[in-house]
Amino acid sequence: MKRSLSYSIAALLLVLISCDYKPRNQGRVLYEKECQSCHMENGQGLGKLIPPVAKSDYVVNHREGIACLIRNGIEGEMMVNGQLYTGKMAGNSQLTEIEINNLVHYILVDLNDQKDPYQISEVRAQLERCKQ
Amino acid sequence: MKQRIYWKSLSVSLLLIGFLAEGCEESASRPLPLLGPYEVNDTIIDGMLNTDTTFTAVRPFSFTDQDGNEVTEVTTNGKVYITDFFFTSCPTICPKMKQQMLRLYNDFEDNDDVIFLSHSIDPKRDSVARLHDYAEKLGISSERWHLMTGERDDIYSMAKHYMIAAQEDKLAPGGYAHSGAFLLVDKSKQIRGIYDGTSAEEVDQLKEDIQKLLNDEAQP
């Protein structure tokens, strides 16, 4: 009796943990780890220093450049929602194609209400073009 | 035998409940602690050793802010202030710290008695012009929030004085390792609290504590 109880608790825990590893959630977890300290918890950015990645016209209009932007970083002038930003973002060489895919998917779908899912083939082709 | 164990565990639980209850009461109305550097003075009074601990006030300092103004301990006279250490090109915790400090800055907008002192620990890159640009983009005024630079050694010894960790570190992202702490200093220049400036919950507590200091000091 006791044993079966502990088995079911273990099983329940496993289910709860694994829930967090759905692709969508991996994107959120990666966002919290890699992006949030600058772009903030809801993607709102910071004043005129750090551009928003949520409800951001730049993100929506640069769908085909976002994977490379995350991989290689970006520097120089950038217009986002009518505001000019001049900061510098470091690239990330550690993230795998799948991680970048899930991260961009989270940014596009959850933070920018985009309907089309981000595809791994799209990410792969993009990263191939901007390989450094 | 069984009965003895029963009484024992009952009295332990009662004690525990007592402790817990006292803890609750304390946190509700407890004055803020005095923190920071202190001196212990031993004196002999009527042949008895008398030990008195005095917390020393924040020492004098001199830095330059984003508008080129000199900021010294005199600037903080009659003010409650919140201070931290950061640098403008910091890629890790600083934006979060600045977001949280900006929240406090806006919350105490109408109160001239609350000011903010942020020390840049990167005197090489963070010139007055660069701090000015950063302040402008953050939308803050040097009337209430000073972004300060100065001599390298002065900045680091000030961090040490406030007991906040800050150092150059080639391996750290951006070249500097530092703590995200916010320090709360009262009108008598005594340190009264230390908070994690990257945590919204701790900054909520800081906001309450600032209000508490202002209320206490408003009383005669």
* ipTM of the modeled complex: 0.70
Q: Is there a contact between B138 and A47 if contact means CB atoms under 8 Å apart?
A: yes
pLDDT tier, B72 (very low <50, low <70, confident <90, very high otherwise):
very high
The SS3 of residue B82 is strand
pLDDT score at B177: 81
- Whether residue B116 sits in one domain with residue B83: yes
Q: Residue B92 pLDDT > 90, yes or no? A: no
Please report which confidence band the pLDDT of residue B209 belongs to, taking 50, 70 and 90 as the band edges. very high
Tell whether B11 and B110 lie within a shared domain. Answer: no
Same-domain status, B92 and B159: yes
Residue B76's domain spans which residues? Answer: 54-218
Is B74 part of a structural domain of the chain? Answer: yes
- Same domain as B21, residue B117: no
Q: Assess whether B21 and B82 both reside in one domain.
A: no
Structure tokens at B62: 């001199």
* B105 lies in the same domain as B202: yes
Same-domain pairing of B100 and B161: yes
Within a domain: residue B69?
yes
Give the pLDDT score at B52. 82
Which residues lie across from B53 on neighbouring strands? Answer: B40
Helix residue spans in B50-164 (DSSP H) = 94-107, 128-138, 152-161
The mean-pLDDT minimum among A26-30, B18-22, B43-47 falls in B18-22
Kindly state whether residues B143 and B181 are assigned to the same domain: yes
B122 by DSSP, 3-state: which? coil
- Model confidence over B6-25: pLDDT tens digits? 666 666 666 666 555 555 44
The verdict on B122 and B165 lying in the same domain is: yes
Q: In chain A, what are the domains?
A: 2-129 (1.10.760.10)
Based on the fold, state whether residues B144 and B75 are members of the same structural domain.
yes
The structural domain count of chain B equals 2
Whether the pLDDT of residue B99 is over 80: the answer is yes
Q: Domain for residue B71, yes or no?
A: yes
pLDDT of residue B26: 47
| Mean predicted confidence (pLDDT) in B18-45 | 70
- pLDDT band with cut points at 50, 70 and 90 for residue B185: very high
DSSP code string of A21-90: TSHHHHHHHHIIIIIHHHH-TTS--BTTTB--SSS-HHHHHTGGGHHHHHHH-EES-EEETTEEE--EE-
Residues of A in contact with B137 (CB under 8 A): 47-49
Q: What percent of chain B has pLDDT over 70?
A: 85
Closest chain A C-alpha to B99 CA, distance in angstroms: 7
Partners of A49 on chain B (C-beta within 8 Å) are: 95, 98, 134, 137-138
Q: Of chain A residues 39-98, which have a CB less than 8 A from chain B?
A: 40, 46-50, 88, 90
Write out pLDDT tens, residues B81-91.
999 999 998 87
Tell me, yes or no, whether B155 lies in a domain: yes
Asked if residue B113 and residue B21 are part of one domain, the reply reads no
pLDDT tens per residue across span A79-126: 999 999 998 898 999 999 999 999 999 999 999 999 988 889 989 999
Question: For position B206, which CATH number holds?
Answer: 3.40.30.10
